[in-house]
Structure 1
Amino acid sequence: MTTEASSRALIRLMAWLSPAFPVGGFAYSGGLESAVQDGQASDPEALRLWFKTLLARGTWRNDGLLLAEAWRSIDDPTRLADAATLAEALAGSAERHLEIMTVGEAFAAAAAAWPHPALDSLGSRPPYSVALGVAAAAQSIPLEDCLAAFYHALLSQAISAAIRLGVIGQRQGVALLARFEEAIVTTARDTAGSSLEDLGSAAIGADIASLRHETQQTRLFRS
């Protein structure tokens, strides 16, 4: 049964992960721009496999695990600080580090409209996934719901980048969102029941693409 509190929590989550929320995520492609240029994600099916790998075995999954750790650590400042340090240390390239820290900084500043001491304890420039996890826990947003919305937002942002790169059109982008519904729900459920012991990545191609983008001369995105 929907309650006023759950409705408020949903509205807050929608606001934080809306494209209109001032975090500047639209400026980043997570290495996708380099992958498109190199022909690794230059058609709809290759793009689908690219996103599937990020969600199942790549940075998206790891970010979700770090978000979950932050959500659980809201009342433990030391554990929370350790999660933030780990998230920053796991950034595999300079641009990846720039993205998670810059977006995290912007998120923390905007989320100050919903104040909570735990957000203040993170400082002004926390990693994005950690900041979102703390904000969600502070507003009593269920972890699994937050993870599902987070993964959906990452996918939506990546699809938007692919559209701007000319790989797919808007209808194909919507179709991709629809195809990933079950995978997002499953991954969110699995992540909510996991721990930092489950961190790991097998998305080497995506990591290399992120590194290669650092020296790409013509670009639309910052990563």
Structure 2
Amino acid sequence: MPTDPGLTRLQQWLSPSYPIGAFAYSHGLETAIGTCAIISSDDLRMWLTDLLKNGAGYSDPILLVAAYRSENAEALQDIEQQARAFAPSKERLAETALQGAAFCQTTSAISDHDIPDLTYPVGLGYAARRHGLPLDLTVHMYLHSFVSNLVAAAQRLMRVGQVEGQRILTDLAPLIAQITQDALTSDLTDLSGSCFLADIATMQHETQYSRMFRS
């Protein structure tokens, strides 16, 4: 039976079992659900759609692609600084920086490539290039992992069943595919964001009294 080692590696990197701590971050969902900005599965679907079109689901693939195509260490560090500056809140910066550091350290430990500590999309893009993995598949699987983690977070915070969670992922699959294709023709001049409610939710989460998640 034919197998693709690159696909297997990406599946490993983006699996929930890869030790980057993704389960600890809700990307502001905890506040949005706690304040009743999200009260139903339809609300959750719309919130995630907005994140994909206008939030990190749009900007992270651009950073990933730029890191994958970076020509030298100086260019990579410039992308890294832009990724950090683009984080809309303290907790969102911690989310991408700490997951990225964990990803880079784990990947370095189990491979022949030394991956410096970078924010998550930048580190993944750089690591994928170093390992010769296809860019389009890397972006697509990253986005699917991003949305899957948020659906799983929502299921711990509100009444969204397992089947309904999978229905949301199925509904968002065409959008994930489209954003992947758009990212492949992007550069850093396309970097933007207008997901204000989600950004504000991550800011409010910093002072939330009782919480399960780190963002």
| TM-score, reference length from structure 2 | 0.96
Residue 77 of structure 1: aligned partner: 73
The letter for the 1-side match of 2:87 is A
Whether contact under 8 Å (2:33, 2:158) holds in the other structure is no
In the aligned structure 2, how far is the partner of 1:187 from the partner of 1:14?
Answer: 20
State the number of aligned residues: 214
The letter for the 1-side match of 2:17 is A
Superposition deviation, residue 167 in structure 1? 3.5
Following superposition of structure 1 onto structure 2, how do residues 35-114 of structure 1 map, counting pairs within 5 Å?
Answer: 35-73=32-70, 75-112=71-108, 113-114=110-111
Superposition deviation, residue 3 in structure 1? 6.7
Whether contact under 8 Å (2:67, 2:122) holds in the other structure is yes
Where does the alignment leave 5 or more consecutive residues of structure 2 unmatched? none
Q: Which runs of 4+ in 1 moved over 3 A?
A: none
The letter for the 2-side match of 1:106 is A
Residue 126 of structure 2: aligned partner: 134
In the aligned structure 2, how far is the partner of 1:22 from the partner of 1:189?
Answer: 28
Percent identity of equivalent pairs: 36
Whether contact under 8 Å (2:14, 2:145) holds in the other structure is yes
Q: Is the counterpart of residue 181 in structure 1 residue 177 in structure 2?
A: no
Residue 23 of structure 2: aligned partner: 26
In the aligned structure 1, how far is the partner of 2:187 from the partner of 2:2?
Answer: 30
Secondary structure of the residue aligned to 2:44 is helix
In the aligned structure 1, how far is the partner of 2:39 from the partner of 2:16?
Answer: 24
Q: Aligned match of 2:187 in 195, 198, 219? A: 195
In the aligned structure 1, how far is the partner of 2:78 from the partner of 2:152?
Answer: 33
Secondary structure of the residue aligned to 2:208 is coil
Q: Is the counterpart of residue 222 in structure 1 residue 194 in structure 2?
A: no
In the aligned structure 2, how far is the partner of 1:192 from the partner of 1:217?
Answer: 41
Following superposition of structure 1 onto structure 2, how do residues 1-16 of structure 1 map, counting pairs within 5 Å?
Answer: 7-16=4-13
Where does the alignment leave 5 or more consecutive residues of structure 1 unmatched? none
Superposition deviation, residue 54 in structure 1? 0.6
Following superposition of structure 1 onto structure 2, how do residues 135-174 of structure 1 map, counting pairs within 5 Å?
Answer: 135-174=127-166
Cα deviation digits, residues 135-166 of structure 1 (max 9, x gap): 11111111111111000000000000000002
Superposition deviation, residue 60 in structure 1? 1.8
In the aligned structure 2, how far is the partner of 1:20 from the partner of 1:108?
Answer: 15
In the aligned structure 1, how far is the partner of 2:77 from the partner of 2:20?
Answer: 22
